Chains A and B, each alone.
Chain A
């Protein structure tokens, strides 16, 4: 609301004559502000120090240079006695009621104060721990992801070796195949050559046999019956001779 007032007065000044415009130039322009809400200044760790529950420590510090340690207490006592003696504060039934409620309040604060404070701290602590848990979980999962990534990189390096091995395998297979085919080719060629050789041998044998047969036939044909008889007679005489010799030796 006050900022609106400032804006209205600034615009009024601007439009009010030559001096007004010059005055406004010095102030900050509309739409910007030197104030900023972020970052939020941190909360102090502990609340303001008090003595005896309600009297701020600053009073004691303020009076210490002039009146020492007992100064504020003297002030309090003197004030109380002054009020009582001059009957500015009259003791009546309300004093008893005040004493009663005062005892209740003091007892309540002394007894339940620390536990209530601890409870409030616990509420805040739970909030922080929940957020911290989320953050820790995220950090943990990210670290694990980094580890996994490193492992994958190591595996990728290992894959090179795998590829080399596979390449070797393939090369060997090709080589084996090639050699098998060479072998097969050699065998086939040899078979064909063997066939040719066999054919030639066959030819020669046939020729030989044919020649032998022809010679035999011719010889048999050339043996006249006269020669046959002569040869048989010769054989008989030979045989007789042999028999004689055999008989002689035996």
Chain B
């Protein structure tokens, strides 16, 4: 007994198996194709593996019990990630259309799912490319020694370091002041920062030239952008392991704390990470898969790409934490050194009194006398704990632009490591952007908003130009806050809604029976009971649970954002202030609008069908070629 909702006219909207065989043999059509399997795999790997693998996974791993986090992560990869990936690949390969085309073909009421995917791809692409613009800014600034974020600049009188920099750190100052020139609140607009505009222009231009002819050009670009990150990560791993303290970092990352497994938040974060890290529901994967030959083994592809994605996350986390371990050890040594200096100066002791490791002993000796302990109390020594330094876990842009850049300044030949690191981030981000652009351009073509003979170069150019113009908002002094807003809301809730709709559409509107037969036709065997259970029950349930929890926590909590305020009390700790009320409108647009497209388009199609029955899509032509099947005997 399989539950399938009635879906009349499905056979007329999709090519039959015989049509597919014919199209395959004749290689007919203007649909682009992959040059070889490697291009396809590298493009998908590049799309899935992005900045999140580097800076989100390592943070989650460290904050949710280290090695123990692998358990929920790997379980959810198998239960949620691979089935969803397989579904998108299979449906794209079968229906041979982009996201709008696929969902419209399954049911005209579902065009909204494709439009929602396109909107999310557009919004996410805008802010993602801004992060790439920041990466480019740091990359441009890496070609000098010493690196500009290694020292504080002097103030105008040349008497002292700039106060903002002195109170925080050179890397913080370079990021918040010289790069972002960040304002105090999201409302403080100002002029656009011209240097960020230049970097944005560079980022969009590079993206344009790589995507200019669709997969014809991106297929060549991914040979570099998808492989270079792995090379750089390996180099960093080797370099990292030779630095002092790196092994402490790796040990800290992977030390399991099995108590975290009981915490539901661990499982939710793992589920969300798996979902977002696979770049599902953007529409790009469906598009990429539709350019495959009809008998391509999409099951194998899904498993391979999932394994590569998971492995990359773990590998990147190892590299990041080896460098963080080095940085924490340096900070610990500096903290101890400062304390030792204070003690030496206060008691006028000989420098040789403190050797490696006898700090506590000597401190105790000094503390044993009454006068000594009084003096020590007056000194206000800071407690130096390596674990505290290691668990200053940072994620997101903070990890890349503050923590890691600081660690790089402590390594010899810093400019080289800086250049390598930012090239790696650039490649990771760019290959993800290819999928985003694909997820915007192909639906635009399917929706026929532009005239049909409009060349792809022009369409891609228009998309890049419009995105660049809107992304200028991120070049304002408040740009960082806008970006955080987009990141929290545009790239989270809508995707969960779209993914849930995708799975229910395929399982219950398209029909699991039909889907099984399609897969049997494409790869030679029906999907086994694991895939069936996953697509019909397990994966939608997981996505629904994550969505409900996300929604509930966001709605219940007061929405705040972290600001850099030199005048705040706890400077340089970021100050959390609530959003102004007009921002809630924007939050609703970002988070709700893509999801609302789904019912909106469904109602629109319903309205069209009920009221204007004459304009149904199927055109009845009275021609001989339509009535008589000309190709039956070939």
Chains A and B are bound partners? no
